[in-house]
Amino acid sequence: MGQRQEKLKEITLKKFAEFKHDKLTSKELENSNLVKVVSDTYKKLGGQLDTLPTNYGPWDISTKDFIIELDEERHFNRYRLETLKSSYYDNQMNFSVTDYKDLCNDFESNCLSAASWSKNWKNDSTEKMFLKSNEDGNLSGNGSSRWRQRAYYDFMKDITSNIKNIPIIRVSIYDKFCGRTIDSILSSSDNKIINDFIDEIRK
């Protein structure tokens, strides 16, 4: 967990009690009306497994009534853009899908600066799940299997919101509040403005 996420989590959980929501199971996905949507997106990302993966990581900030996912530099790139083109996002979400698409186009270079080497680029798990990666930092052709995995798991968390009826609020570090980026706010010691921001996104 990065410092920005720690800061947002600390202040959020002073206002709202922490609650551990279960992740989506394969059976829940199979019994939903979204399994084809997920399958189509997984294949478009170069998915290689016969069974759709559901083992995404823990929620960033989890309370009883809502979840906050803080999306930093590694979450905006061509693979996340591909997931955002899914018909699933035609319905209203707790974040601007249009803005997120723009961020994927505008800030992929920041993702490359933050995650173009070692396990940020590929690992044994991601190489099994997706196409074999190019050499570190080379986005041509197959690009990065780890980037593909992260985009897919972000997508799966959004799918979980629908199937389990849990509101998920996505916050980008590039979002602005009171004329400042969320990155700037969370990197500062101004806890009041962070409190005000949490109140705003919970309206």
How far is 84 from 162, CA to CA, in rounded Å? Answer: 15
Dump pLDDT digits (tens) for 7-20: 999 999 999 999 99
How far is 192 from 177, CA to CA, in rounded Å? Answer: 12
Q: How many domains does the chain have?
A: 1
Q: Which domain holds residue 9?
A: 3-201
The pLDDT value recorded for residue 93 is: 77
Relative to beta strand 180-181, strand 176-177 is antiparallel
How far is 32 from 146, CA to CA, in rounded Å? Answer: 27
Dump pLDDT digits (tens) for 67-91: 999 999 999 999 999 999 999 999 8
Does residue 133 contact residue 139 with C-beta atoms inside 8 Å? no
* Reported pTM: 0.96
